[in-house]
A = this chain, B = another copy of it.
């Protein structure tokens, strides 16, 4: 699970806005790019298996096949392996220190996690 900067930007847009055609993605790009540039990224993503596409009318519509949180976990794991000896708990300890979180705040975060108020469309634990 490895993305180049251009690929990652496409994935971000696909994750955020769902199925789209190249011209729509192009408009949402932070940089100003020609249409074929965007299609080049998308083709590679399809080739790598992270994105699927289907023909609707004249155009191809692209959709993220890899789930956002799955990609996130993969990239986190890589980072944690590099910097925290592979231990997510060490990462947590680092973040707690770095954010200077109090026990009360942690408790609140834990509650927030429990209630799952995020806008992630991730299925509940265990469900698939």
Contact = CB atoms under 8 A, between A and B. Distances in A.
Interface stretch (A42-50, A57-65, A93-101): A93-101
A68 interface: yes
B68 A75 contact: no
A90 interface: yes
B95 A91 contact: yes
Interface in A87-128: 88-103, 106-107, 109-110, 112-114, 116, 118, 120, 125
Contacts of A71: 83
Contact of A95 (B82, B88, B99): B88
Chain A's interface: helix, strand, loop or mixed, by majority? helix
A73 interface: yes
A97 to B, nearest CB: 4
Copies of this chain present in the complex amount to 2
A54 interface: no
A1 interface: no
A112 B96 CA distance: 10
B99 A92 contact: yes
Which of A88, A89, A107, A116 has most B Cβ within 10 Å? A89
A37 interface: no
A17 interface: no
